[in-house]
Chain A
Amino acid sequence: MRSDRLNRTPMGLKIAAGVGLAFLHLPILLIFLYAFTTEEKSYQFPPPGLTTQWFAVAWNRPDVWAALTLSVKVASIATAVALVLGTLCAAAVSQTRFFGRETISLLVILPIALPGIITGIALRSAFSMADIPFSFWTIVLGHATFCIVVVYNNAVARFRRISGSLIEASMDLGADGFQTFRYIILPNIGTALLAGGMLAFALSFDEVIVTTFTAGQQSTLPIWMLEELIRPRQRPVTNVVAMVVVLVTFLPILGAYYLTRDGDQIAGAGK
């Protein structure tokens, strides 16, 4: 009897959890409403009227397109670099035991554990000391540094689940190391890498703090957003861009979830 009563959810808990979730989601939903407002000059609520004209205005803005293109390019290359480095690191750490393994895990996590401003200013002062001018590649370098950890986490979790006997069997049957990698390891870690890659892309696409220090004159989409936030010039366009950014980042998260949902560790938990 008692346990029966206990297994029913207490009303207070239900309400507190519901209110908490609403608190997490309502502000994002509000963005969707504001993308359609007819009000140009202020954040008036409720919106005086609804219109879809701002989508056309935003579509015809070259600065938005330039920022978006740069963001996609940076995120793609940073993700590619992070995939290679993260997988190598994960393979080395999980397939062999050697002195200093723990230190390597710590090293990989450090760029995301330290506040972004520290990573940003450290890279910036290193660039200026080495006389490296700011460019597309300095942005990529900064992003790849903190994207490695996302790929690494996903790959390590998956490597742990590949049984060593699979690899031994492949070797016993005469496959060389490259064949074993191509036909045994890669198919097994493929979805984990895809999930890690998607999350790394989302992380890079959204990053602003490190980017402000490594970007020079170019602006990625978050930098464009930040400028609009500090000195609002065209609020309706910002509203539309904000909504599009929310929609675009949802896709990789849902994708990564479906790719790894059967695993013991689900992607994304370690942002």
Chain B
Amino acid sequence: MTAFAEPLVVAERRGPAGRLSDFFWKHPHLLLMIMLAPPLIWLGVVYLGSLFALLLQSFFSIDDFSGLINYEFTLSTYRQLLSETNLDIILRTVLMAATVTLASAVIAFPIAYYAARYAQGKWKVLFYLGVMLPLWSSYLVKIYAWKLILAKEGILTWFFEKLHLMWLLDAWLALPVVGGNSLSVSYTGTFIVFVYVWLPFMILPIQAALERVQGNLIEASSDLGGTPAQTFRYVLFPLALPGIVAGSIFTFSLTLGDYIIPQIVGSSRLFIGQAVYAQQGTAGNIPLAAAFTVVPIVIMGAYLFMAKRMGAFDAL
């Protein structure tokens, strides 16, 4: 009868590990807190803390004479940000990001569609790795490869010469904005490299969205008399749109913040990333650099808000 005096559960464990285990079992919230504390301290305190400290600096200003930071709240740095040259930089970057995004979507769509709908078995794996390997290949090596390609004595010039199309390349380089001395110092070059480097980021979400489109929808559209163009316009494209928007988040955001590609392949005119780099480095103007970083954050915030409303996050 004494056995009933004991509770009808497993006896308490012995040993420090057993007792600790029991203790956590009785206090699940404590365990949760212990598990969450290290990552939260790292990300929430170290990372977010530095981020806020940076943003805070954009409300300080730099003393023109001493070059030291004046720790008083002011909006003068933002006034400086909105000067004509700086607005030019912002506009140039946003335009580049928009064209890069558009071009990536156009090139990515057939690859994603083929991989999602037609590739089977071995081909599917091939397509998957075919996108994954360039995605993960070294970013700098990819840029370097394009420096080789776009150089004046490089493969592209050779190619145009062999086809007797040098006049076409020269005519393109003679154009006012997109041209330049050679492709590697023109906006065209910058644009091509941006598209190349971010393209896999566009393919994957479009493919994910298209995988979910059922084949019989396409058949139904066709059976009802839709031409391939109409099927694309009214069935396929609307269903792929969340994927395209999801991909565009990457291509847009990555282009906005990049400073290495336009530095290595491009004209000497600055992009936002280069402006940030120059302001914090040689110019030593941390407040203006911080104000510049606010631009992509605000643009991406607005962009993400719109993307969320279009359902892009379901396609990630």
Contact surface of A with B, Cβ cutoff 8 Å? 2-3, 6, 9-10, 13-14, 16-17, 20-21, 23-25, 27-28, 30-31, 34, 42-46, 84-86, 88-89, 91-92, 96, 98, 104, 107-108, 110-111, 113-119, 121-126, 129, 141, 144-145, 148, 174, 176-179, 199, 202, 206, 208-209, 222, 225-226, 229-230, 238, 242, 245-246, 249-250, 252-254, 257, 266, 268-271
Contact = CB atoms under 8 A, between A and B. Distances in A.
Nearest to A5: B222
Is the interface on chain B under 10, 10 to 19, 20 to 34, or 35 or more residues?
35 or more
A254 B40 CA distance: 31
B253 A115 contact: yes
Contact of B142 (A28, A89, A108, A122): A28
A147 B223 CA distance: 49
B158 A242 contact: no
Interface in B264-316: 264, 273, 276-277, 280, 286, 289-290, 293, 296-297, 300, 316
Contact of A17 (B114, B289, B297): B114
Contact of A27 (B196, B228, B260, B290): B196
A70 to B, nearest CB: 16
Contact of B289 (A121, A176, A199): A121
Given A178-B20, A257-B132, 19 more contacts: A2-B223, A13-B114, A25-B134, A28-B137, A46-B155, A85-B39, A88-B36, A115-B258, A115-B296, A118-B297, A121-B54, A121-B290, A122-B54, A145-B43, A178-B17, A209-B258, A225-B140, A250-B137, A252-B136
B256 interface: yes
Contact of A86 (B39, B49, B115, B293): B39
B39 A118 contact: no
A20 B112 CA distance: 10
A25 B158 CA distance: 19
13 contacts: A14-B114, A17-B114, A27-B142, A45-B157, A85-B42, A85-B43, A114-B51, A115-B257, A121-B276, A126-B53, A141-B46, A202-B136, A269-B204
Contacts of A111: 43, 47
B25 interface: yes
B153 interface: yes
Contact of A46 (B21, B50, B115, B158): B158
A131 to B, nearest CB: 14
Contact of B50 (A126, A257, A271): A126
A220 to B, nearest CB: 11
A254 B153 contact: no
A20 B111 contact: yes
Interface in B1-49: 10, 13, 17-18, 20-22, 24-25, 28, 32, 35-36, 38-40, 42-44, 46-49
